[in-house]
């Protein structure tokens, strides 16, 4: 990440990149899913149903549900054998063509991830804590653009929604990869079926709320992720990095091992943090608000 997410032209659009419908194992139809996100003020969604033979390999055609202020990106959660723990791979692909071909009989997880990349998708590693992905698993899909640092459904239903440690472990190998927060909603929790939704999202900086512009911005790291707080601006200021936010309790730079710089205080909206201890390496911004909700920047390489 450079500071392009904050300095490039355009505006921030709020979206969810990972959720499910009745086309796979979700409990709401595609139109209703899009309606709920639109009514919650989201600017876009990727409906990422499970791309599996059991569900007849769906790529949800959400184009009819677009409006003048709400758009959709076509995509899917793809699967193939097998992680180092013998689990079926989960690969999130945002920006697939509607006619993306089904898996080959012997296709592996790394192979389908590469095929999604070749098709032009933004590819992410979802819910690494939920199914205990290893460092070897990460190394086997070197083209992935991002790791889910937060998966709302995995947190709500299993208490395993994290991914920051996995992201940092990859960054410590010298690989450049970004962060991502998503819902992965299946609409199975709570009386109104909303409890596993609207808990994690991305704020993407683009010049238009159009699928191509959004996917390009995602691939180039022009976004941040959040459960609630806003990151308004991040910029260099000599030996410092200045960070402006919505009201929060703490603003931090975190890096390799225990390296960190932070400022804390009630109702903070800015911090000016020294970056020299991260020089030659990486750091990333973490914002925590009074309710304990987080926002994450993509890594900054120094």
pLDDT of residue 213: 98
What DSSP state is assigned to residue 22? T
Residue 133 pLDDT > 80 = yes
Range 197-223 average pLDDT: 98
Q: How do beta strands 71-80 and 50-51 pair?
A: parallel
Per residue in 243-259, pLDDT tens?
999 999 999 999 999 99
Per residue in 193-203, pLDDT tens?
899 999 999 99
Range 124-151 average pLDDT: 98
Percent of the chain with pLDDT over 90: 96
Per residue in 88-99, pLDDT tens?
999 999 999 999
pLDDT of residue 82: 96
pLDDT of residue 234: 97
Per residue in 153-189, pLDDT tens?
999 999 999 999 999 999 999 999 999 999 999 999 8
Q: What is the CA radius of gyration of the chain?
A: 18
Domains and CATH numbers, the chain: 4-226 (3.20.20.140), 231-301 (2.60.40)
Range 213-229 average pLDDT: 98
State residue 249 phi and psi, 5-degree precision.
Answer: -100, -35
Contact (Cβ atoms closer than 8 angstroms) between residue 95 and residue 73: yes
pLDDT of residue 189: 87
Per residue in 10-54, pLDDT tens?
999 999 999 999 999 999 999 999 999 999 999 999 999 999 999
DSSP symbols for 41-57: T-SEEEE--EESGGGT-
pLDDT of residue 2: 63
Q: Given pLDDT bands bounded at 50, 70 and 90, which one contains residue 105? A: confident
Percent of the chain with pLDDT over 70: 99
- Residue listed under structure tokens 């009386």: 191
Q: What is the 3-state secondary structure (H, E, C) of 215-261?
A: HHHHHCCCEEEECCCCEEEEEEECCEEEEEEEEEEEEEEEECCCCEE
Residue 260 pLDDT > 70 = yes
């Amino acid at each position: 990440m450079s500071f392009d997410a904050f300095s490039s032209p355009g505006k921030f659009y709020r979206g969810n990149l990972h959720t499910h419908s009745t086309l796979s194992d979700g409990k709401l139809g595609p139109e209703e899913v899009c309606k709920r996100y639109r009514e919650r003020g989201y600017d876009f969604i990727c409906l990422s149903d499970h791309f599996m033979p059991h569900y007849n390999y769906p790529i949800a055609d959400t184009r009819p549900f677009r409006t003048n202020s709400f758009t959709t990106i076509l995509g899917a959660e793809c699967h193939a054998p097998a992680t180092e723990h013998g689990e079926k791979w989960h690969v999130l692909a945002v920006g697939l063509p509607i006619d993306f071909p089904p898996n080959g009989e012997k296709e592996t997880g790394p192979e389908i991830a590469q095929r999604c990349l070749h098709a032009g998708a933004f590819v992410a590693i979802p819910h690494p804590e939920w199914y205990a992905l290893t460092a070897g698993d990460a190394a086997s899909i070197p083209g992935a653009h991002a790791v889910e640092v937060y998966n709302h459904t995995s947190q709500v239903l299993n208490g395993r929604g994290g991914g920051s440690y996995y992201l940092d472990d990859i960054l410590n190998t010298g690989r450049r990869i970004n962060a991502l927060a998503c819902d992965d909603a299946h609409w199975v929790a709570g009386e109104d079926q909303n409890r596993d939704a609207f808990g994690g999202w991305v704020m993407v900086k683009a010049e238009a709320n159009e699928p191509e512009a959004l996917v390009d911005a995602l691939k180039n790291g022009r976004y941040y992720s959040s459960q609630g707080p806003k990151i308004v601006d991040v910029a260099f200021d000599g030996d410092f990095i200045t960070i402006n936010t919505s009201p929060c309790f703490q603003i931090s730079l975190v890096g390799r091992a225990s390296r960190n710089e932070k400022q804390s205080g009630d109702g903070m909206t800015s911090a000016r943090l020294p970056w020299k201890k991260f020089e030659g390496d990486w750091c990333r911004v973490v914002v925590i608000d009074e309710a304990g909700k987080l926002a994450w920047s993509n890594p900054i390489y120094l």
